[in-house]
Chains A and B, each alone.
Chain A
Amino acid sequence: MATYVAKRLLAVIPVLLGLSIIVFLMMTLIPGDPATAILGNYATPENVARLNAQLGLDKPLPQQYLIWLGNLLQGDLGRSFALNRPVLDEVMERFSATLVLAGAALLLCAVLGLIAGIVSAVNQFGWADRIITLFVLIGISTPSFFLGLMLILGFAVNLRWFPPSGMYAIYGGGDLPDLLYHLVLPAFTLAAVATGVIARLTRTAMLEVLRQDFIRTARAKGVSERRVICVHAFKAALVSVIPVIGIQAGFVLGGAVYIETVFQWPGIGAMLVNAISTRDILLVQGGVLVVAASYVLFNLAADVAQSLLDPRLRR
């Protein structure tokens, strides 16, 4: 098992390098002079020249990349000129807020999706299956930013159950209950689509597994039907659903862009949208890099979890 994890960790390195190359190349695709784009149209020629030298923009591309990568490995992602602070500080601060939101949403969609999928499969073609299938269909067709607005309208403005925006109350907030209270609506909104996808796949996986011979064996042993479904079938189905949960981590991290904007959550998605509007390229670059790297790690975690469940994969 330890060797398997070590092997998987090593395999992540080329992926991260690949990501860094793509993110680096982003900058070279900017139409016109990158330094001017980074500093804005009102930059003084001296500043442009200084930045050019600092980023090594006068050198050949591979060399530029190595300089950039070297800085990156030392934790230097450059400086946000709009915010006038190091990109890394801003990105890390924002990313922790996103991680709270995305983590909550991921937990929510995994739990709800798995339960809905199992209930749906066990009651195949029954009323519970129909209702869940309908919700799944609505869930994956509703734009999350629209769902968020409707939830704000219903639960924050009309019912006043939850706050419409923010991460903490402005006065007297800041503790965990306050955070959870603010988290409910955005986390549900962000989880909606992924819940539908996971429920759909869990249903199919369960139906597939329940036809297998080893399920008949379990029944022939006299194992209770509840145990057949919740232990024997569920464990086997989970093996094929876990990678999907890993992929959904990507949709949740990306979807955070909308949800953070709608709920004014101080995360990295909202930061990126602002940074794009202000053309703060280095901030965008740092933000994209950190989120993409975290997605790779989420997938790694899914891989490891899958191999923990399935001994056949540990080789």
Chain B
Amino acid sequence: MSGVISTRRASDRPDAVRLMLNNRLATGGLVVLVAMVTLALLTPLLPLHDPNATSPADRLMRPLSEGHLLGTDALGRDIFSRLVWGLRVTLAVGLSATLIAAFVGSAVGLVAGYAGGRTDNVLMRGIDMLMAFPYILLALAIVAVLGPGLINALYAIAVVNIPFFARNIRGVTLGLARRDFVDAARLSGKSHARILSTEILPNVAPVIVVTMSTTVGWMILETAGLSFLGLGAQPPQADLGSMLGDGRRVLFNAPHVALIPGIAIFLLVMSINLFGDGVRDVLDPRLKSGALTRPIGRTAIDRSATDAPIAKSGNVLDVSGLKAQFDVGSRTLHAVDGVDLSLAPGETLGIVGESGSGKSVTAMAIMGLVPTPPGRIAGGAIQLNGEDLLAATDERIRQLRGGAVSHVFQDPLSTLHPLFTVGDQIVEAIRAHQPLNHRKARERARELLALVRIPNAQSRLDAYPHELSGGMRQRVVIAMALANDAGLLIADEPTTALDVTVQAQILTLINRLRRDKGASILFITHDFGVVSAICDRVAVMYAGRIVETGTTAQILNDPAHPYTRKLIDCVPVLGKPDRRLDAIEGLPPPADDLPDGCAFAPRCPYARPDCRKDDVPLFDLGDERGARCLFPLAGHAS
């Protein structure tokens, strides 16, 4: 895939607080949390019943009873009063445990990451040991030793959460401790303690906050849990957990006594989790849950914008006026902006251009392999052997993919599935289109591997991609593309990831297969050396359009478009080391902001004022040549 989606501009970065408030769930969590914390803080000032005043006559009153908003418990105590006092205790214990765990865990992590070596090893083995215990079990063990009680429960919960802080903070510190500014501080004679507190701590603070936001909810849950089991708050003191535990005893005849504190714990933890997710999204955008989008099986097509199919041509492939766009945020990138192509039987067409010129997107669009979202086909027509591909059903496209049209992609390591043997992957390609049983398909797979000249084909069938060299992997990918004798092979930079000798072997292989099988090939590359080795005709792309077409000999020997000229000049020529290599100055225009007139004009040494006025059409230069240039360097405009 070419880098069509350019990086976001720095000014797009929204300010953190606004980002946070934009997240409605996080804001909701924050509102509930603030309300509960305020209630807990104001508790002593509120005109409440004494939470511990028992009144056997008023026991188990329902909620909304007179004088008791939420009713009374088994001893006749006012539930609302107990709830807010209990909330206070739960919050105090949960937050204290979080602070203790954050302080101790961060200290361990900072020291381990900063000191490295043996200290790191010893500290982290200890942390690993703590993590080898099931979470709650370790807390129980600590309470067992110290004895039940709220303060002991607090310690236990803090201890079991120390590893999360230690691990996260160590990881970040380890990276920071090797950085230049820390070295500089060390050389300036600062003590280790000063460096840790003034240089490193400010940089790990966001990680500490993120870890706190993930763990504080658990800690409040565990505090409540230990109290629920009778191992935390001891009567007459009550927190939400022990209230729930009391309520359990009268669950069948007065469920509200258990339900009310249960709901309170749920609301508290839920609001913390929602708010915490929001904090994490702001401080650590990589983890943002919505950041990833999944491409669907076939590129979306704006059916209203597509053209009627073209008349029968006898070509294998006809593309006309193809437009492909990417919707990124509020911007629309015009990756392919009106491309016409045709490919005769047995012909090899090279599409050449820089990264981002739209050549890969053009190739992917043919079989609907441009990822959606964000991509979509916004107009034009694509015909395969006269069949309208943009109007075809998904099932028809599936039949054609790998059947009539096969693909070879750039990086053979990432394009093969790492968890299946190459044999299984070829067999799958065969059986997707041919009614062969597994044994016969496997035999055919062996033949294919032999055809692409893989030695010991039989034993290689059981190899995984990572066990093969880059060249071997690309041969496997090519073997897979040959599985069903496709009439059209789309090869997207199939040799770019390989070294030069292997590259030559692969090109020879493709050339021979084309001769033997008579397939047409669409060959995408940025390398004119490769073009001269394999292509009959060439189309040069720039900023989503074809700027020049012609036979390979014409284009290589006598380019008409200044851009083509520049591209060819970039290629070093063997035996002419003193020839000046011209890099093309400037960058291609952003795909959502193309200039008026010729898109290449801003970088073109021959540009004149006329070039920047109107859209430049593809002028016919005779002999099936064409160039999108008002002042071509070769040929004669007719």
On whether the beta carbons of A145 and B414 are closer than 8 Å, the reply is: no
Complexed CA–CA distance, A30 and B394 (Å): 69
On whether the beta carbons of A275 and B144 are closer than 8 Å, the reply is: yes
Complexed CA–CA distance, A27 and B259 (Å): 38
Complexed CA–CA distance, A214 and B480 (Å): 13
Q: Mark B127-140, 1 if CB is under 8 A from A, else 0.
A: 01110111111001
Determine the residue in chain A with the shortest Cβ distance to B370: A216
Q: Mark B390-423, 1 if CB is under 8 A from A, else 0.
A: 0000100011111100110101001111111000
Check A310 for interface membership: any CB of B closer than 8 A.
yes
On whether the beta carbons of B134 and A295 are closer than 8 Å, the reply is: yes
Complexed CA–CA distance, A258 and B231 (Å): 12
Contact A225/B297 with A254-B136, A254-B137 known, Cβ cut-off 8 Å: yes
Which of A21, A137, A143, A211 is packed against the most chain B CB atoms within 10 Å? A143
Nearest CB in chain B: distance from A233 CB, A: 9
Q: Which of A143, A213, A249, A253 contacts B266 (CB 8 A)?
A: A143
Nearest CB in chain B: distance from A24 CB, A: 12
Which of A23, A150, A216, A224 is packed against the most chain B CB atoms within 10 Å? A216
Nearest CB in chain A: distance from B473 CB, A: 12
Q: Give A128-148 interface residues, CB cut-off 8 Å to B.
A: 137-138, 140-143, 145-146
Contacts of B292 in A (CB 8 A): 204, 207-208, 211
Q: Which of A142, A218, A254, A309 contacts B134 (CB 8 A)?
A: A254
Contact A214/B367 with A149-B262, A311-B466 known, Cβ cut-off 8 Å: no
On whether the beta carbons of A221 and B432 are closer than 8 Å, the reply is: yes
Contact A250/B135 with A222-B403, A276-B148 known, Cβ cut-off 8 Å: yes
Q: Which of A27, A31, A137, A275 contacts B273 (CB 8 A)?
A: A137
Which of B231, B269, B401, B417 is packed against the most chain A CB atoms within 10 Å? B417
* Stretch in B250-258, B318-326, B445-453, B522-530 with 4+ CB within 8 Å of A: B250-258
Check A2 for interface membership: any CB of B closer than 8 A.
no
Q: Which of B248, B269, B293, B398 contacts A141 (CB 8 A)?
A: B269
Contact A141/B252 with A222-B403, A295-B133 known, Cβ cut-off 8 Å: no
- For this complex, into which size category does the number of interface residues on chain A fall? 35 or more
Contacts of A30 in B (CB 8 A): 145
On whether the beta carbons of B294 and A211 are closer than 8 Å, the reply is: yes
On whether the beta carbons of A288 and B273 are closer than 8 Å, the reply is: no
Q: Give B281-301 interface residues, CB cut-off 8 Å to A.
A: 289-290, 292-295, 297-298
Nearest CB in chain A: distance from B632 CB, A: 37
Complexed CA–CA distance, A206 and B414 (Å): 16
* Stretch in B16-24, B33-41, B221-229 with 4+ CB within 8 Å of A: B221-229
Chain B binding site: helix, strand, loop or mixed by DSSP?
Answer: helix
On whether the beta carbons of B136 and A257 are closer than 8 Å, the reply is: yes
Pair count A-B, CB < 8 A? 230
Contact A152/B273 with A214-B417, A225-B297 known, Cβ cut-off 8 Å: no
Contact A291/B134 with A30-B145, A124-B294, A221-B402 known, Cβ cut-off 8 Å: yes
Check A261 for interface membership: any CB of B closer than 8 A.
yes
Contacts of A29 in B (CB 8 A): 145-146
On whether the beta carbons of B144 and A310 are closer than 8 Å, the reply is: no
Contact A143/B369 with A221-B480, A288-B141 known, Cβ cut-off 8 Å: no
Contacts of A311 in B (CB 8 A): 418-419, 464, 466-467
Contacts of A281 in B (CB 8 A): 144-145
On whether the beta carbons of B418 and A236 are closer than 8 Å, the reply is: yes
Check B265 for interface membership: any CB of A closer than 8 A.
yes
Complexed CA–CA distance, A86 and B396 (Å): 71
Determine the residue in chain B with the shortest Cβ distance to A133: B289
Contacts of A83 in B (CB 8 A): none
Q: Mark A93-122, 1 if CB is under 8 A from B, else 0.
A: 000000000000000000000000000011
On whether the beta carbons of A220 and B225 are closer than 8 Å, the reply is: no
Check A26 for interface membership: any CB of B closer than 8 A.
yes
On whether the beta carbons of B274 and A142 are closer than 8 Å, the reply is: no
Nearest CB in chain A: distance from B354 CB, A: 21
On whether the beta carbons of A141 and B295 are closer than 8 Å, the reply is: no
On whether the beta carbons of B401 and A219 are closer than 8 Å, the reply is: yes
On whether the beta carbons of B401 and A221 are closer than 8 Å, the reply is: yes
Q: Give A213-269 interface residues, CB cut-off 8 Å to B.
A: 213-225, 228, 232, 235-236, 239, 249-251, 253-255, 257-258, 261-262
Complexed CA–CA distance, A129 and B290 (Å): 11
Contacts of A142 in B (CB 8 A): 266, 269
Contacts of B487 in A (CB 8 A): none
On whether the beta carbons of A223 and B244 are closer than 8 Å, the reply is: no
Give the 8 A-B residue pairs with the shortest CB-CB distance, closest first.
A254-B136, A222-B402, A146-B262, A254-B134, A141-B270, A250-B134, A221-B402, A207-B292
14 A-B interface contacts by CB (under 8 A)? A18-B129, A122-B294, A143-B241, A213-B415, A216-B415, A220-B401, A221-B428, A223-B398, A223-B402, A250-B135, A258-B229, A273-B140, A275-B144, A276-B148
Given A236-B418, A292-B134, 19 extra CB contacts under 8 A: A26-B141, A141-B269, A143-B228, A145-B225, A145-B228, A149-B248, A149-B258, A149-B262, A211-B292, A211-B371, A214-B415, A214-B416, A222-B401, A228-B297, A235-B419, A258-B136, A258-B225, A276-B144, A295-B137
- Which residues of B approach A to under 8 Å, CB–CB? 125, 128-130, 132-137, 140-141, 143-148, 217, 221, 224-225, 228-231, 241, 244, 247-248, 251-252, 255, 258-259, 262, 265-266, 269-270, 273-274, 289-290, 292-295, 297-298, 367, 369, 371, 394, 398-403, 406-407, 409, 411, 414-420, 428-429, 432-433, 464, 466-467, 477, 480
